[in-house]
Amino acid sequence: GEHVNISSNVSIGGEGFGFVPGPKGLVRLSHIGRVLIGNRVAIGSNCAIDRGGLGDTVIGDMTALDNLVQIGHNVRIGKGCVFAGQAGVAGSATIGDYVMVGGAVSISDHVTVGNGAKIAGKSGVMRDVAAGETVAGYPAIPVRQWHRQSVALAKLAKKSD
């Protein structure tokens, strides 16, 4: 893309993490796809973006990756997304447009995150996230539910003192 800012120590196009069991142990799957980076993308230091297996890994226009972000093979990220430091997206996940991902978030493989979704820091996304939804926790659940559970747990802990 045009006007892409790539910081120091970034790895783009490394082989994805794919293995299958073979008669003599694990066999690495070849990854022959590409990495396609849109216009006005910012990639922070020490990020790793794996190339696709058969298809491509795609980073959409105006997306920003903070330092230490991992993007797995075949991930498709829409436009205008923001990923805070230490976030990781496993292979074949689909991230919509204008998604905000907090620091140290983990997104599982083959998950879809809808347009405009927000994921709180340190959350673990193991299911699809609907467009516009805000999730938090591990496993990530709707943020209001997470807050209610956190308050209930604190009350239980206080009673046991």
Whether 159 has a pLDDT exceeding 90, the answer reads no
- The residues carrying an active-site annotation are 73
* 156 φ, ψ (degrees, to nearest 5): -60, -45
3-state secondary structure (DSSP) of residue 56: coil
In the prediction, which pLDDT does 160 show?
73
User: How many other C-beta atoms can be found within 10 angstroms of the C-beta atom of residue 79?
Assistant: 18
CA separation for the pair 3, 41 (Å, rounded): 7
CA separation for the pair 31, 87 (Å, rounded): 22
pLDDT band (50, 70, 90) for residue 132: very high
Q: Is 81 left (phi over 0), alpha (psi -120 to 50) or beta?
A: beta
CA separation for the pair 68, 97 (Å, rounded): 21
Q: Do 85 and 66 form a contact (C-beta atoms < 8 A)?
A: yes
pLDDT band (50, 70, 90) for residue 135: very high
pTM: 0.94
pLDDT digits (tens, 9 = 90+) for 65-117: 999 999 999 999 999 999 999 999 999 999 999 999 999 999 999 999 999 99
Q: Do 5 and 41 form a contact (C-beta atoms < 8 A)?
A: yes
Structure tokens at 128: 């699809």
Q: Do 39 and 3 form a contact (C-beta atoms < 8 A)?
A: yes
In the prediction, which pLDDT does 95 show?
99
pLDDT digits (tens, 9 = 90+) for 6-35: 999 999 999 999 899 999 999 999 999 999
CA separation for the pair 138, 74 (Å, rounded): 24
Whether 161 has a pLDDT exceeding 90, the answer reads no
